[in-house]
Amino acid sequence: MTDRLNLPQQIRQQLLQEISIRDPEVKVHIQRNTFGWLRLSIVTSAFERINFEERENQIDKILDIFKLKLHEYPFADYWLLTPQEDAKQAQSIPVQMPLWSEILSAPDPEEPATVDEDTNKRPFVVTFYSFKGGVGRSTSLAFVANLLTTRGHRVVMIDFDLEAPGLSFMHPIDIPEATTYGVLDYIYQRYLTPDQDEPKIDACIRQISIPTRGELYLVPAGEYDEGYVHRLADLDVRSLYQNEVNPIHQLLEDVKNTLDPDIILIDARTGLTEMGAVALFDQADLGIICFSPTNQSFAGLEWVIKAASKQRKYNGIPDLRFLLTPMPPVAHTQQQEWLSRTADWITQYWGVPSPVTVDELYYPVPYNPSITTLDSLFAEVPTAILDPYISRFDHFRAGNGKSSINGSIFSLFWGKVA
């Protein structure tokens, strides 16, 4: 009896076994789509000089052992190509979209991409992502930005949470009307009129006044009016990746060229949304995954981690670190149980690359109700609030080695952006 759960692998093995007799270089890829149907691709020189119907007949004979045929369930679609046809088709396929379904349904690459270990990359792009809302993602990003600027860095925050902008409202509005454009205005208008430089990138950037020696800038979600709602409804993220010039890529390039930042911090949309995928998978060197250690969070994040892992195999990014926030004040034994489960979960689904230990991949931030009393997250924030984010940070900056930063949120990624 056929094992339906392992059917794709069984089909692939049978096809390879039969076709490799004539073509040892045959390539067979098979995976399920989001509805559970199968997508099959076969590239072999055995198809040369025979028409498509003959190719189908050959494959149907091989599949007969499973009582299956190409044009019937469970096959959604299939490609039967010669190496020359495959090369020609590859040239016409649009750029891979960094979206959930495309990444998860793609076959594993035959050769994983080389991971860029350049710790001096500038700007270093970090995306803060959460599967669910209400876990302090935007707040954590804002505090990290605050602390980085106190160390003299030029930091740019970009609000990609278009459906529920957060960063855009975390500081007092004292900016002239002419500078209230943002991410949505920029990418929407450039999609409509790609040959026009409107709105200017300068009109989408706010410099935030801070009492530190660094510089802090914000690209908000957009001009928040009724038009914003209509522009958001019309936005088709997939179509942006079919343009000759991708407006999202253009936005990031304009920010880099205009501000020359050390670090870019991106606030991503929650859940399995397209803009959330773009923020996490397209150009982020590092993803900070914010979550509370609950069953619901672990279940949802399982697919996030699977997609991130596959995207890293394809493009070498993103690397991931995990932020447990906000951790409620519970008994020490309960907290240790949560942390132990988190460590086991990270080890199982993301893995622990050598020479890193799992304890270096996550960090808990305790719940602090005083955060809700702050008028701005970018002004002078009380030490008691910042302490969980900055613990031992100065000690690390003094050059005492990697082990000295355990216990700090910066231990999650500071070695990459210092």
Per the CB < 8 A criterion, the answer to whether 179 and 205 are in contact is yes
Residue labelled with tokens 């089909």? 11
Mean pLDDT throughout 171-189?
A: 73
Q: Is the pLDDT of residue 2 over 70?
A: no
What value does the CA radius of gyration of the chain take, rounded to a whole number of Å?
Answer: 24
Query: What's the first-to-final CA gap in the chain, in angstroms?
Result: 57
Mean pLDDT throughout 226-250?
A: 89
Per the CB < 8 A criterion, the answer to whether 258 and 203 are in contact is no
Spatial distance between the Cα atoms of 50 and 55, rounded to a whole number of angstroms: 7
How does residue 389 score in pLDDT terms, banded at 50, 70 and 90? low
pLDDT tens per residue across span 259-300: 999 999 999 999 999 999 999 999 999 999 999 988 888 988
What residue ranges of the chain are covered by domains with CATH 3.30.300.90? 4-93
* pLDDT value of residue 202: 94
Question: 180 or 347: which carries more pLDDT confidence?
Answer: 347
Distance of CA 375 to the CA centre of its chain: 30
Mean pLDDT throughout 397-412?
A: 41
Spatial distance between the Cα atoms of 186 and 150, rounded to a whole number of angstroms: 30
How does residue 311 score in pLDDT terms, banded at 50, 70 and 90? very high
**Burial class for 318, CB neighbours closer than 10 Å (0-12, 13-18, 19+):** buried
- pLDDT-wise least confident of 54-68, 125-139, 232-246: 232-246
- Comparing C-alpha atoms, which of 266, 296, 274, 279 is closest to residue 131? 296
* pLDDT value of residue 312: 93
**Sequential DSSP letters for 125-159:** EEEEE-SSSSSSHHHHHHHHHHHHHHTT-EEEEEE
The CATH architecture one would assign to domain 124-417 is 3-Layer(aba) Sandwich (3.40)
Q: Is the pLDDT of residue 34 over 80?
A: no
pLDDT tens per residue across span 70-126: 989 889 888 999 999 888 765 544 446 899 988 988 877 777 877 766 556 789 999
Spatial distance between the Cα atoms of 416 and 410, rounded to a whole number of angstroms: 10
Mean pLDDT throughout 402-412?
A: 44
- Give the DSSP H or E segment for 366: strand 362-366
pLDDT tens per residue across span 239-253: 888 777 899 999 999
Quote the mean pLDDT of the chain. 83
* pLDDT value of residue 415: 54
**Sequential DSSP letters for 32-97:** E-TTS-EEEEEE-GGGTTS-HHHHHHHHHHHHGGGT--TTSTTEEEEEEE-HHHHHHHHHHSPPPP
* pLDDT value of residue 384: 67
Spatial distance between the Cα atoms of 350 and 129, rounded to a whole number of angstroms: 16
Most confident of 40-54, 81-95, 114-128, 400-414: 40-54
CATH 3.30.300.90 assigned to 4-93:
yes
How does residue 405 score in pLDDT terms, banded at 50, 70 and 90? very low
Per the CB < 8 A criterion, the answer to whether 47 and 55 are in contact is yes
